[in-house]
Structure 1
Amino acid sequence: MDLGKPKKTLKGLIKRLFSKYFGFENGIDIANDVAVLYRRNVVIKNIVFVSNLLYSVVFFVLGFSVANPTTDWIFAIASLPITYAVGKLQSKLIDLDHNDLTKQQIAMYVSSFWIFISAMLVYVRIYAVGQNSLFETASYVLIYYALVEISLYQDKRLLANSFMSLFGFTTLIHLAVTYNFFALELTWQEFASELFTEGSQMSKEFGALILRTIIFCFFYAVNYIIVSIGQSIQEERKKELSKRREVQGDFTHIVRNLFNVVFQSAQSLLDPQHAKKVATVSSKLANYYNLDEESKLDLEKYSLIHLRFDEIKDLMMDTDTYDEHTYDLIKTKTDLGSKIGKRLQLAQKCNEMMRRHHEGDANQSFMDDMKKIQPEIISQIILLADCYISLRSISSYHRPYSHQQSLQFFNKELIGYFDYNLKETFLKYNEEMNELYNNL
């Protein structure tokens, strides 16, 4: 019984769900600013929804605890429809137009405003009512949590534009709630006198307020720096992606043109019947040569790979749209096309050798050049099989040869192209080759 499989399935499900609801780059083109902002709006809306549910739980616990007045249950009940209504409003703003940058920016600012205000409201609710000291510190941390949520937009302009508003709100909350200076009902002269009296409670509280304000500003500055770095990296990624796509587009056009030239001129080499005969003979010859099993499999695939030409025909069609899926598909087909091109080169090598030797135009320079083309043993086996099949078949420049005539031509004209052990193997098992050809 495989106990690990359900665990892996659950892990995969969690990963997929996280990617779907909280993955910032899930299925988007990072070079498209509107698509990126739309995705961030959606993800941050989901984060806000989860955060608001957490706030509702906090209100629920506070509202139904013994230490609080019975009327506090109203906060717990009212927070749920408010959370739902805010979520619906965010969704409507985000979905107004997925392709309109201005509308997505409006949704971003509204969402950011609600993120901060909701954290403030939770803090005011907990701190103002009192008797909830266990929650007071945690609720104050929510203000910084809200700043982190806003920074997820990775937009330094948003942070810069929002600073004074958020700083003002925070200062107001400090004055009105945290230290409740407004309840003192002092004139400015009395306030100043108390403030500058050494050791007074007022001076201590005001010092603490200044410290909180400095920490807020430092935290905001660090967030701004992090967002600036992230945005700069994102811009560099966009530039790199744009350049890569431009290069890939040019490369695709070049490859398409090359494939058009190569394959249109090689139609005569795409004869399935001839290719299958070559594959059969080369496979048999590989057995006699004692080629290892892995190389035999490679030989069998390579000998027939050019018959998969139809799989890359659409690569030669023009397209003006490029995305990651297109590039992956082009890469796969380009890899296949390069292998097909190599196989056609090997077939062309056989044709060129046959023609030049029949015309008596194969000098030493030609032979040296031919031997440099695909000298690997797998290619040599396929080439030898192709030469033998070509000699035994009808051609535009020679009549079909008998087996003995083929051997004579091989020994006289072609023997210098092949590895010593390979040609010895072919000559040793030439009768078997003849029998195999007669049965094809």
Structure 2
Amino acid sequence: MKTMLATLTIGAMAAAVLLGPGTARGAILVDSASLSAIQDAWVDQANPTTNYGSTTTLERKAGWSSTPSSSTQKFPYVDFGAANLLATVPAGAAVYRAQLALDRVSATGDSEARVGHVSAAWNEGTIVYNSAPGTAATRYGGPLGTGAGTTVLDVTTYVDSVRRTGSGTASYRLSGGGEDNGHTTVFSSREAGAGVAPELTVEWVPASRLYTPGMKGSNLVARLQEGLSGYAGTSDTMLTTRNSLVHGADASFNMENVWGSDTSRGLVKFDLSSIGVNPAWATVTSATLLLMPSDFQTMTSIPVQVRELQKAWTENATWTTYDGVNLWDLAGAAGAGDQSAVLSSTSLADSQWGMIYLDVTSSVASWLGNPALNNGWIVDAVSATQNIVSQVGTSENATIVLRPQLWIQMNVIPEPATAAVLGLAGLLGLKRRGRRA
């Protein structure tokens, strides 16, 4: 359970509740805060000129199987204020997770929704269906749930983009999903009271703990992502039974478990040498692989797992070869000499279409000291039924926040030569002070 340390009032209407430095998310230590909505409303296709910005509820409804029927769409809009977000998450911080929480009052049945990022301005007192802004990006979503309860939806990359650039909005819309089924879901609005108002919780690592070469200390975090701070050490591709093509330049890869007659798996590797740390004086305390999927074709939970690869594959790998020429021991990198028999990590991707977090501490701890062992991981979606996790962003994706990430938390101590110099300097200082006395 998180401990509430303080409450800050930011702006005229927003509150940010600091959940405190040192909160453990997995084993990565994060700072966190929760922001309240500064405005919210919903729009109704059946009443396209009516404003619903002062009601105590937000309604969401879409058509059957994501094809909106006439006069059925109802979309909630929620805004947390970019200025409030930027004032809460400090400059230079690395966003680890961001989640939108909505108090669910009722639902006529379980349905899916997508969370879109709204870049255009709107006002809760004037917004109506006919003039409501669309979304600039729609990456997240998931089942909304049945009955009363809380619906939690991932918005990590939206918040990450705002913090990285220092601009943008913290405004979101719930729209149609893949399995809408015509159900209506009712949420509490901010007018219903602080205890049930929409809430945005953000977790981050502060700039003071983001590792750069030469730093010493505890719980330092190296964040690796293609294109971030000049990093260019990611390799990734897809193996698929669909074709014999090379997919190393694709913007995404699929993780499929028997979708029709097809099976697909992803390969991911990070070059750890650019971290710039001497492994003899660094201890890896945690490492997390983050993958951003854009779609799930099921409303049930899907285990996603990673195993260490044994072959020195390249981005020319195919279903049958690990470098475009040499064969895997078993097609699909399924042989005993292709991948480890021991799972590196398993994460339950619960069809929220949000970031997947995989604990890969043991792999990274081993590879940092012995780079020759680093052949990356094979990533699978595993299920006995026809489930699919598709379009996981790769290092070639044009949108940087969608690319794979590797977060490594370390304790780094001074090397002996440095410690000796510091000790000598201390002794000389004591000697000089003694002479003055």
TM-score (norm: length of structure 2): 0.22
TM-score (norm: length of structure 1): 0.22
Normalized per residue, which structure has more helix?
1
